[in-house]
Amino acid sequence: MSFDAIGLPQPLLQAVKSMGYKNLTPIQQKGISAIRSGQDVLASAQTGTGKTAAFSLPIIEALLKTGAGQGGQGTGVQALVLTPTRELAKQVKENIEQYCQNTQLTTTLVYGGVGNSEQQKRIQQGSDIVVATPGRVLELIQNRTLRLNQLKFVVLDEADRMLDMGFLKAIEEILSPIKQPHQTLLFSATFSNKVKNLAKQFLQHPRLIETAKQNATAKKVRQYVYPVQENRKREMLSELIGKNNWHQVMVFAGTRESANELAKELKLDGIKAVLCHGEKSQGARNKALQDFTEGKARVIVATDVAARGIDIADLHYVVNYHLPFLAEDYVHRIGRTGRAGKSGTAISLVSPKDHRFLGDIEALIEQKIERIVLPGYEFDLMTEIAKKDAAKKGVAKKDVSKVAPESKNRYQKTRDKNRSLDKKRSAAGKSKVQRKSRHSSR
């Protein structure tokens, strides 16, 4: 169905056409109709399916009908859109501003991690639509800068991620005091029990919209499993990235320690990598994200918790260096690529100890993920070769890994060269310290 056929007011239709959109996506077709009916909405929709337009267009349409557009001088916020991260909030705000380009409706962006004086000023000047992260909204409500007494719409965008990030209490404190009639629109990639409980708490007889199977992965994401021995994962990852000339790669590690180690090892292999995990300051994480998005680093290594705070618009590859303990987190991880109609690739490096997690994932997504055996990494064959070599060299079984054959490639050669330089620098540093110590003791 085309946008011409749904009766949008001219300012909205012109804006949509100027952005190059012609036909509605499934979530837009179902969502716009449901929101126009005045019902609360509970919708399953992956990122990149057009859900921002699905809730923004009918909200803007409704606000225009009420004569909104002059701002509310600090008390007239008509719509509140809550998102899990500042990056997503920025994207949503930019999209809404584009849809509002031919109107006088005003939109304000509110998020934490920065000073709030400028955000307070903009709210006080008047805003019809506020796009925000929960923590900062709650702060502005508590200091009475933001008032929701004229609110007509609440949108919970990517509700599952907000709950995973621990925002339930903040959401409850924001929504519970709202007494006037309003529509609540909840969008989530997955329908976990936490999402269902949130819907029961704040949605009244919602219209259920399902545009894909619950917990389904995006169709445009190609998924592959690479079997590999645990102690050769890093080597395989470097080879995949290096030989295939991959850029824009997000790698998920299981712990902060493993993330630190992996980033260090990738650099030794000649692959520039940056880090994003909970031990890093917000400033350091912002710098890492900037370097990655600007192409100064090919890889960003992250943990699940830290990664929930970032969004990357055009991510080509997601690599599960360690599979997540929760199958739902797999859906979240790979949903970061293949957005907005673009294709993406999700790679999982799976060792024998990962098999039970892989089984949970495939059961959840109801799909058998294609296996690819990379030449030189067939671990059954490698084990047999290693056993024979061990027998010849008299190495005990527990030391088999010491003689496992490894074929040298140019990435390993780069690694060896970098490691040698690293050792020389370290030795030179120690020698300098020792000379200073001897000199000072004289």
Domain ranges of the chain: 3-210, 221-376
Equal CATH topology for 3-210 and 221-376 = yes
CATH classification number, 3-210, choose in 1.10.1660.10, 3.20.180.10, 3.30.420.10, 3.40.50.300: 3.40.50.300
CB 319 within 8 A of CB 300: no
CA distances from 209 to 205, 265, 278 (A): 13, 45, 35
Q: How far apart are CA 247 and CA 290, in angstroms?
A: 14
- What fold characterizes domain 221-376? Rossmann fold (3.40.50)
Strand blocks (E) in 277-423: 299-302, 317-320, 344-350, 370-371
The set of residues, in sequence order, having a beta carbon less than 8 Å from that of 425 and lying 6+ positions away, is none
E strand or H helix at 59? helix 51-65
pLDDT tens track, the chain, 442 positions: 889 999 999 999 999 988 878 888 889 999 999 999 999 999 988 666 788 999 999 999 999 998 876 544 444 899 999 999 888 888 899 999 999 999 999 999 998 877 778 888 888 888 999 999 999 999 999 988 899 999 999 999 999 989 988 999 999 999 999 999 999 999 998 888 999 999 999 999 999 998 755 555 666 899 999 999 999 999 999 999 999 999 999 999 988 899 999 999 999 999 999 998 877 777 888 888 889 989 999 999 998 766 665 678 788 999 999 998 778 778 888 888 887 667 899 999 999 888 878 988 888 888 899 999 999 887 653 453 355 455 555 544 433 333 334 444 555 566 566 656 666 666 665 565 565 555 555 5
Measured CA to CA, the distance from residue 395 to residue 418 in angstroms comes to 30
Q: How far from the centroid of its chain's Cα atoms is residue 243's Cα?
A: 26
Cα 141–166–313 angle (5° rounding)? 90
The model's pTM: 0.59
- Residues 411, 223: Cα–Cα separation, whole Å: 25
Q: How many Å separate Cα 403 from the centre of its chain?
A: 40
